[in-house]
Every structure is written in structure tokens, then in C-alpha cells.
Structure 1
Amino acid sequence: MSFQDFDSELGVGDHAARLASLREQLRKDDLDGFIIPRADAHQGEYVADADARLAWLTGFTGSAGFCIVTADQAGVFIDGRYRVQVKSQIDLNHFTPVPWPETAPSDWLQQALPDGGRIGFDPWLHTRKEIETIDHALKDSGIGLIAVDHNPVDQIWTDRPAPPVGAARMHRDDFSGESSADKRARLAAELKKAGEAAAFLSLPDSISWLLNIRGADVPKNPIVQSFAVLSDDGQVALFADPAKFDDQLRAKLGNQVSILPPAGLSAALTDLEGPVRLDPASAPEAAFRLLEGSGTQISPGPDPAIMPKAIKNQAELRGMRDAHRRDGAAMVSLLAWLDKQDPANLTEIDVVRKLEDYRVQQGITDISFDTIMGAGPNGAIVHYKVSTATNRRMAQDEMLLIDSGGQYPDGTTDITRTLPLGNPPEGSVEPFTAVLRGMIAISRAQFPKGVAGAHLDALARQFLWSLGLDYDHGTGHGVGAALCVHEGPIRISRISNVALQPGMILSNEPGYYREGAFGIRLENLIVVQEVPAEPGRQMLGFETLTLCPIDTRAIDTNRMSQDEIDWLNDYHAWVRAELSPLVDDQSQDWLIKATAPIGLISSL
């Protein structure tokens, strides 16, 4: 059994024919265009095959983006992570990549429809905030956004897969650190204090966290796809396929949690008495329209679970630390094995499978996302997913980028290491050293309470910027505890204004990508913690969770400060002490060499 699919049909097909069919359907529906998002009704980054409309229509399988189709244009909007990938996946004769957010959808639409028109959208697949932003920007353009009752993509997708029905299970209280009853009571008290009768939850990871349940509806993400209404008395109406819940789980959830068929959601929303909290940034536009249509008072506000979920308690942190020890042992075993192989005898898929085997030995329940195993030029594709069609044989003296993670019963991991297969390729040492220095800068950062990810992002980029280089993705994302590997609302990026708080877990992953040559990324997970400060002032910093050596063969130590070298040597000493007892003798020998102290004199 393999957790990763190398022959997925997702995104495969005659996309020109599908585009033509969609345009015919739009003519029938009296629409001049239609927006096809990546997201599903839960605004998930990772979606079930039944909801992969963007990939089915265009061939693009990235985790973010959307397409706008008109009678004569089809723009696929992608951010900096996917500028290389999209060109290899879509039919450039029929679809056009559009740089986003540099090009706003409103600007593109006004260029595509200078005389105005009717642009359809599925209100279940877009948030209120998203629709209001586009609609405001289209004011006086003659272009109107039209909410449709029937998604035209679904109408032409005749072989659409069935929705997932993964079995739900309990997440142990000793892993969660708080019972579901206590969580519900805590959040319900906050609703009552705010004068709100209920809150509508549409994010499955929020619901799974709140109820201490886990599921198998979306590969790599242990969530139960569902909607929920939390009342101010702590009761929850959970709208999910009842077949996912066995009698034992129902009994553990108790009589304050009612499991109801999803088909009853719309009627239940219209029956609510307000005020009802809805999150404009995550709840579907359709939910707002249903409540507005019934006259129910809406209280716009954040998902009540999103911040409590982001701030991990001591039990969750303990589980994450334990999971990272086991995951570190798997990574060391892989890297020790890889160091003894002839690269010419290996393909990317070979190494993905080997890493998965080591993680299975450490007790994973799944991988936390499809492993990115980018050899040579494939490493420059930021979210590269190897398939049998793209599988590349490795070569001596090229870079290998490994970005991977595991789902363990008690924690979620995400780690990236980049290493030369032999000697570092030409032009890689300078950016590798700059990326490493950026990662160290974030790791060592100390900052006052109230600082957000936007304030820290430049610390990771400064050394690349000094070389005239940069990367087109954020520096870090939030990470769930035995939940989704990408978790809101926190990030380290230029657009993140959410203040960091103790207990929040983020990735720390600067990178550099040279199209056609190599990619470099180094990633550790870090947790926000309090650090010593003068009386009356609260200062924060980071504890590193990830345990795995950083390859030193592509480092120019002459470009590093003594403090940076000391940090790396201390990190490696910690990794060696923690992981040596967990690996076999051969891996232990490799680990001792890989974590040997380095000095200021470069060996290159």
C-alpha cells in the first residue's frame, strides 16, 4: 500500500472539449462567463476528487488558483508558486496563465468584457468577502456577478466522482488536551457574551477540532467534511453524512451533538434565530444569502474555533514534539540510505516510496501532503508532484529537494531538506547559504507581543534580497496538531496581520528557485513561545520542533556570522542527541557525520 498516488487521473482529459462544453452550457444559462475556483464549499485547500472542478476543467492541479471562462477567453489565475507548473499542465492553445494577485479578477474581467456582461458564480464555492471584493471592484463596469442555483461545471461533468464517505473516529482526549464538551462550553460562553445565539462553522478542521473527531474524507487531511451550527448552550448540529459515524462514536459524542444529513442544511439555516455569527472570510456566500432571505440577523465575525485551534495547549505541543522525534528518525534513515546510493540508479518515485516506508515504520496514519521530490530542474517547481509521467532519474552533482510530512496519531509534520547528490551544482552555493541564513534568522528572532507574520517575513528574505534574489511564496504557514498541515489564520508572509501568540505552530521555509536548473528550500516547524524580557514587557520567540540535519555541503561558511554557525552547530548537537537512540547503527553513524560541527573556513 502506498499513501501517494503516482497515476492519478485528476487533471487528465480533453480539456479543450470540456471548455467547449462549458461555453455551450453558459450560453444556455444566459451567462457571459463563469468563475471556477479551486476551493470546495468548505474553502479547503485540499479537495476531494468530487470537488476538483478546476483540475477537471483546466488540467491545473495546484492547491490555489481559479479560472474565469468567457466566450472567447479562459484565464487560469495562479500565484508565484505555480508559474512554472501551470505551463506544463494546461493547454496553452485554449487556456492562458494569469499572474495573480498582480492581476485582479475584476481587472481581467473588464478587459475581457469591455461592454459588460453577466458573470456566474456558485455561491457555495465563494466566501462573502471574496464576492464583495470582486463586486465592489466591478462597480460601474456594466459587469454583474450572478449567483447560480446549478453549477454549470457540474452539469457537464457527467462522470463526476461520488462525494467521499470516509469513516469518522474519535481523537483521544490525551492528545487533544481538552474534551469536546469543555471546548463547546468555552466557545458557547464566548457566543453568549457577544450576544450571539449561534455560530455557523464551515471549516472541517475547525469542526473536527471542536468535536475531537478525525476523518478520512480528504487524503492527507484527517478531517470530517461537514458543516455545523454551534448554539450558545453548547449544543452542536453537525451536518455530515450519517454513514460516517458508527454507534460507538455517536455515543462518545453524546446527546448534545446531533448528526443530521447535509441535505437539511439550507432549511436548518433558514430556521435559525439570530444573531448568528458567520465568518465573511470562510463561510460560503450561500449561507449569508439563506439567512438574509429568512430575515435572520447576521453577526459577522471570525470562526469561533479558528484562534483556539491555532493556539496549541500543552498536550498538543507534547504530541507534536513526540511526532517530530519519530519523523526525524524516518528522515535520518532515508538520508543515510540515500547517501549510499548511486543517484543514477534512483528515480524520484523510488525515493518517495522509500521515505514512506520509513515513516510507516514510525507509525504514520497517512502522509500530510503529497511528497515533493524534485530532482534537478523539477526542484524549481515549488509544489512539484511526481507522477509516472514526470518521474525523473536522478543524476550526480544535481540538487534534490525533498518536502514531505507525516500524519501521526498525536501530531502533524512538515519538513523540507535540499541536498546535493554529490557536489553542489554550479551557482547553487550562494543562494543555498542565503536561504539557510534566512531560516536561521527566523529561528533566532525575538519580538514583542503584537507582532504579526508580516513583520517577520523580511528577516527570511534579507540575504536573498542582498543578492538580487527572492522567492514567490510565503515564508511560513500555520500547522495543525494531528490536523491539516496548512492551517489558518496565521502565516509568515507580507500579507499576514494576525498577531502571533504562544502555542501557535508555523513553518519556517524560505527558498530559491532557478527555472530549468534547481530549487532550494529549507523548512523547520517552529512554535511561538515566551522568552525572557525586561519587567513589564512581553517578548516572544520560537522553539524549533523539526529534528533532522541540514546538509552542509552547499554552505559557504565564509558568508555566515559566528552566531549563525553557532546556531547551526547547536541545532545539530540537539538533533544528534535526540535521534541517535531512535535509529539503527548505520543511520547513527551517518547522523554523527552529518551533524559534525562546522567552522568559519569553507571547505569548498
Structure 2
Amino acid sequence: MKAKEKIAALQALMKKEGIDGYLIPSSDPHMSEYLPDHYAARSWFSGFNGSAGTLAVTSEKAALWADGRYFIQAEHQLEGSGIELMKIGEPGVPTVEKWLADELPEKGTMGIDGVITSTAFAEELKKAFSEKEISLKNADLIAPIWTEERPAAPATKAWILDAAYAGKTPSEKLATLRESLKEEGVNAYLATKLESSAWLLNLRADDILFTPFALCFTLVLPDSATVFINKDRVPADVQEYLEKEGFAIAPYEETAAALRSIKTPVTFIIEKTSLSYALYQAMEENTNIMVKEGKEPIVYLKGVKSETEIKNLKIAHRKDGVAMVRFAIDLEGRMARKETVTECDVDAMMRHYRLEQEASLGESFGTIAAYGPNAAMMHYHPTPENCATLKPEGFLLVDCGGHYMEGTTDITRTYALGEPTEEEKDYFTLVLRSHIDMAKVVFKEKMPGIALDLAAREPFWERGLDYRCGTGHGVGFVGTVHEGPQALNGRCQVPFVPGMTVTDEPGIYETDKIGIRIENELLCKEAMETEYGKFYCFEPITYCPIDRKAIDPKKLSPAELSWLNQYHSTVYETLSPYLTNSENEWLKKACAPIA
């Protein structure tokens, strides 16, 4: 079926069930950013396969909400579907809940699947519907329509990331977690986020493409801890290890029942954005459970990397830098020989050079290999059916990353494939200035991402320009490539502290014309302490040259030029011991100082 037919089938089922509206979010029972294929219902129904978006359907209409990263992509993929694109943040565009409240009838019924809908979203809907007395109804209308084609729920083999990489054992982390809960005045916690259980248990698997997590919940009570997981996919030695570390094992589907059966009074800390409405209702049904809203505790614990993790992360980025250099040399050679190279070839090349690194666990996300105007779509992915051929002109943007036993990486480089025009150099140097200004900022303690983000945007704002996304995000440790709580954007109120990592990736995206992005990962560290307090700074831990050919040095300040030359010196010193003589000759030129 095409998208229009799928929406029609959903509307027919809604009518049969007495439901006036239905919501399909981009989520799974763990409110994950990247979903197992089994839960990619929004993508299946709409045809829009960006990582974020919400589909709302009424008896006569369908609309999809997407943010600025996906405006261009969504316009293309929704064409002919009958689904209206709602551009989040644009003037006159209502929120999902406001649109539904306006479209649904008085005393109507709104359907949601509480298993994959967050408590926070369910409550927003209730608030928006109160005036018209629209009720919420729990109903899974996805399964009856998405049948034969639907992938099974994942159950890949689970394994343990050794503490030599992870820094601490699960029992040590459990003790730290319980201390954190005590400080919040609570004594119970349900880890719903996959990355939280992964961190706490040192447990990994391959349930989500590019993300080494296992579908599970972890329940921590005052005198016990239980992992709810499909036991068939947990090898005996892993079960024994977790039990020895203080964690019992129970079936995945028994999570809600376990909450309902708690016999002694406990107080849970919950974050409604990461807790499904179905599990929240299970808590509400048990009079022994009190809840306190607060910060998801593990997110804050794992957001600050330990000394062991930082040491390993630098090894992972060094390996990644070697892979990037070998890719760039290969690409230059193919272009010089006038071989046919497509975006899909670039994807395969990048995958090859990462996988040949020792202790590689694969890619951390699908490579964005975008040539020319395709790079204006921030999250563009080439496919065999839609794959541009590179020419000796314009820019190639490559955004990619890898998982290694030592950590996770995320990097973007934009390459000039021919002699860049003055306009192309101007754009590239603007992005580079923004990147450098962010990387070299020094700031007082307790400064949040919302304040630091300004440093990157100033060069753009000077010219009346901007980019419709954050400047950077946290990166997990052998985990998700997007990690909170820290971020560099106009919303993040979380203060940076030493040990946090974040990407620095400003860009320019001119529709149907050009896209440029430069991305490094930064480590927050102490800079100095004076009578005015503590000051922090960032250290780049991504090691890969930035294309000098596309830079206009006259448009860099002395401080920016000094930073760039020092950065390239560090790249050469870090990577050269791991490259061949010929590769080092290339790297020396790529990292040569600019006068």
C-alpha cells in the first residue's frame, strides 16, 4: 500500500472503533530517538523516514509535524500522500495538540497507544482537549493494519561491556545510583530509556540499527534490582554476571505487572517525557507507589564521562581519524583518476575504513554522504535509487561516526571536490569561523548550553543568517550518538561540567543550492580558577583535518587562525604514528599551517 492507502485504512479502522483522531508518534516503549524497525510506524504510514516527527490522523485529514532539520526531506517524501506538512516553529503552524483540539468534535474520542506514547504527551493532549471534553482512549490501531510487512520485535544476543572500557562495574554504578536517588528524597526508579539500562548494567546488544542497546527495563527498589528482558536472548554467562552484580532477570512483558504488585510503600522519581503512559497508569493503580517528578537520574550520571571513559574515547577518536584520513586519500585518488564515484560509494568507502579498525563495532548512525544541493537537507541519506554522482566541482558533505569498544564517535567534514568559487569559500569560511568560535570559548561554571550556543551563531547573525538546528549534542559511550542532558542549542538549561562531551557542528543550508557542515566532538575541562570563580573550556577530541582548500584565510581573525593551526598540529601528532609513510605525506600537507 502507498501512504494514502494506509491512511485510508487507518481512518476506516478508527470509524469502526469509534475513534475520531489517532496519533502515531516517533517512539517505542522506551521513548527512543532511534527506533527498532518494529516500532517505525510513523515512517511506515506516512513515507517520511526522518528520525523525528509526529503523524496525526482524523476522520478526514492527516498531518505530519517535522522540525527544521527535515523540512526539505519531508516535503519530498510526503508529496502525493495527502498528508499536510506542519513545519514546527514556523509562523502560524499550530502544535499537534492544538490542531487536534481544533479538528476533533465536541466530546469526541482521541486514540493513542499508551505503550509508545509518553506520559508528558498524553497529559498535554488531555490539557488541550479539556474545553471540548475530548477523551483519550488506549488503542493499538497500528498492529491490525501493519501486519505481514512488519518486522518482528528485536531480540539480538546481549553482551557485557567490560569495566576496563566502561569504567565501573554494574554493582558500583548501582551504588552510585542509589546515592543519587537518596539525594532526591526517593528510593525507587524505573530505567525506561535504553541508554540508562545500558549504562547501569554495562549491557549491550544490537536491537536498534547503529545503536548497541537491548530492549529492557530496569527496576530499582530499596532492596532489589530487576532487569526485564527477553531471557532467551541473554546468554547464561551474562545472566550469571548480572545476578552476581545484584540484578535479577525477569521477562520483558512483566514490567507493568511488577509495578502493580509492589507490596511496600516506595517513592519513584519519574520523568514524564521518558515514561510511557501505560507504565505511568500501572504506577497510578498501585496505592503503595508515590511518584515525584524530577530529572531522569542516570542521564545525569552518564552524561559526565569518567577518566577511564575519556581515555578510551580519545583512542576511539584516534581510530576514527585514521579511518577518515584513509577515506579522504581514497576519494582524492578516485576523483583524480576520473573514476565514477557516487554518494552510495562514499557510504561504502567510509564503512570499509571504519570496520578495518581494531575493536570496531560498526557505524554509530547511517552515513550522510551528500553532494552539492543534497547537502542542504541536513539528514539526507543516499539510496541506490536516489544517489548523486560526484563531479570535480562543488562540495561533498560526509557526516558519519563509529562505535568502538573504546567509545562512540560523530564527525562531519565537507570536502571541496574542485577549485571552490569565491562564494563557496565564503560560505565554508563562515561555517569554520562559527565552529572555531564555539571550540575556543572560555566560560564560567554553571553556564548552560543555551548561553554557550550564542558563541557559534554570532558570525551567522552578523550577516542575518542562521541554521535551523542546535549547534551540538552530547554523544554516548558505546551508546546512542545523541545523548543528554547537555547540548548546545537555544533550549538547553543544563550547565556544562568537566567530563561532558558535546559536538560542535554549525552549518549552512541553502535549499537546492549548497550545504556545509564542520563537526568535531568537544570535551569540557577546567581552564582556570581565579578570585572570580572557576572557568571551563573545550578540548577537541576529534582528530581529522579540515579542508584547507575551501578556506579563505583573510576572513579568519588571528585568534581563529591560530586555533586552526594548533588544531591541525594536534591532528598530525595524534594520527601520524598510526599511518603509513605515504599516508603521513598526505596528512602533513593537509595539516600544514596557514600563514
Q: Could you say which TM-score interval applies, normalised by the shorter chain?
A: over 0.9
Matches for 1:145-294 after TM superposition, within 5 Å: 145-148=135-138, 150-159=139-148, 160-233=150-223, 235-255=224-244, 256-272=246-262, 273-294=265-286
- Counterpart of 1:78 in structure 2 is 66
Give the drift of 1:115. Answer: 5.1
Instruction: Measure the CA separation in 2 of the matches of 1:474 and 1:139.
Output: 34
State yes or no: 1:550 paired with 2:546.
yes
Identify if the C-alpha distance between structure 1 residues 209 and 93 changes in structure 2 by more than 3 Å, giving closer, same or farther: closer
* Structure 1 residues 436-489: Cα deviation after superposition (integer angstroms, max 9, x where no partner): 111111111111111111001121111112222211111111111111111112
Match of residue 596, structure 1, among 589, 592, 595: 592
- Counterpart of 1:49 in structure 2 is 37
Give the conservation status (yes or no) of the 8 Å contact 1:280–1:302.
no
Give the conservation status (yes or no) of the 8 Å contact 1:188–1:231.
no
Give the drift of 1:93. Answer: 4.3
- Counterpart of 1:27 in structure 2 is 15
Instruction: Measure the CA separation in 1 of the matches of 2:105 and 2:516.
Output: 43
State yes or no: 1:361 paired with 2:356.
yes
* Structure 1 residues 158-200: Cα deviation after superposition (integer angstroms, max 9, x where no partner): 1221100111111111111111101101212333454433111
Q: How many matched pairs?
A: 584
- Counterpart of 1:347 in structure 2 is 342
Aligned AA (1:325): R
- Counterpart of 1:10 in structure 2 is none
Aligned AA (2:255): L
Give the drift of 1:116. Answer: 6.3
State yes or no: 1:123 paired with 2:114.
yes
Q: Which moved more, 1:124-133 or 1:504-513?
A: 124-133
SS of the residue aligned with 1:152?
coil
Q: Which moved more, 1:505-514 or 1:100-109?
A: 100-109
- Counterpart of 2:300 in structure 1 is 307
Give the drift of 1:575. Answer: 0.5
Segments of structure 2 that go 5 or more residues without pairing to the other structure are none
Instruction: Measure the CA separation in 2 of the matches of 1:104 and 1:116.
Output: 20
Identify if the C-alpha distance between structure 1 residues 310 and 147 changes in structure 2 by more than 3 Å, giving closer, same or farther: farther
Match of residue 309, structure 2, among 308, 316, 321: 316
Q: Which moved more, 1:212-221 or 1:323-332?
A: 212-221
Aligned AA (1:86): A
* Structure 1 residues 535-576: Cα deviation after superposition (integer angstroms, max 9, x where no partner): 361111111110000012222221110000000000001101
- Counterpart of 1:490 in structure 2 is 486
* Structure 1 residues 285-306: Cα deviation after superposition (integer angstroms, max 9, x where no partner): 2221111122221122222211
SS of the residue aligned with 1:217?
coil
Match of residue 374, structure 2, among 372, 375, 378: 378
Identify if the C-alpha distance between structure 1 residues 438 and 339 changes in structure 2 by more than 3 Å, giving closer, same or farther: same
SS of the residue aligned with 1:40?
coil
Instruction: Measure the CA separation in 2 of the matches of 1:545 and 1:222.
Output: 22
Superposed CA RMSD: 1.6
Q: Which moved more, 1:123-132 or 1:64-73?
A: 123-132
Give the drift of 1:596. Answer: 1.0
State yes or no: 1:335 paired with 2:323.
no
SS of the residue aligned with 1:385?
coil
* Structure 1 residues 121-157: Cα deviation after superposition (integer angstroms, max 9, x where no partner): 11222222222233324442x1625131x31112211
Identify if the C-alpha distance between structure 1 residues 143 and 91 changes in structure 2 by more than 3 Å, giving closer, same or farther: farther
Give the conservation status (yes or no) of the 8 Å contact 2:190–2:219.
yes
Q: Which moved more, 1:315-324 or 1:244-253?
A: 244-253
Instruction: Measure the CA separation in 2 of the matches of 1:218 and 1:481.
Output: 16
Q: Which moved more, 1:283-292 or 1:367-376?
A: 283-292
- Counterpart of 1:469 in structure 2 is 465
Instruction: Measure the CA separation in 2 of the matches of 1:348 and 1:477.
Output: 25
- Counterpart of 1:5 in structure 2 is none
* Structure 1 residues 7-51: Cα deviation after superposition (integer angstroms, max 9, x where no partner): xxxxxx511111111001111111111111011111111111100
SS of the residue aligned with 1:83?
helix
Match of residue 582, structure 1, among 569, 573, 578: 578
Instruction: Measure the CA separation in 1 of the matches of 2:81 and 2:180.
Output: 54
Matches for 1:6-21 after TM superposition, within 5 Å: 13-21=1-9
Instruction: Measure the CA separation in 2 of the matches of 1:598 and 1:530.
Output: 29
Instruction: Measure the CA separation in 1 of the matches of 2:416 and 2:83.
Output: 36
Identify if the C-alpha distance between structure 1 residues 391 and 299 changes in structure 2 by more than 3 Å, giving closer, same or farther: same
Identify if the C-alpha distance between structure 1 residues 174 and 536 changes in structure 2 by more than 3 Å, giving closer, same or farther: farther
Instruction: Measure the CA separation in 2 of the matches of 1:398 and 1:111.
Output: 46
Give the conservation status (yes or no) of the 8 Å contact 1:310–1:504.
yes
Give the drift of 1:427. Answer: 2.9
SS of the residue aligned with 1:491?
strand
Matches for 1:97-116 after TM superposition, within 5 Å: 97-102=85-90, 103-113=94-104
Matches for 1:490-569 after TM superposition, within 5 Å: 490-535=486-531, 537-569=533-565
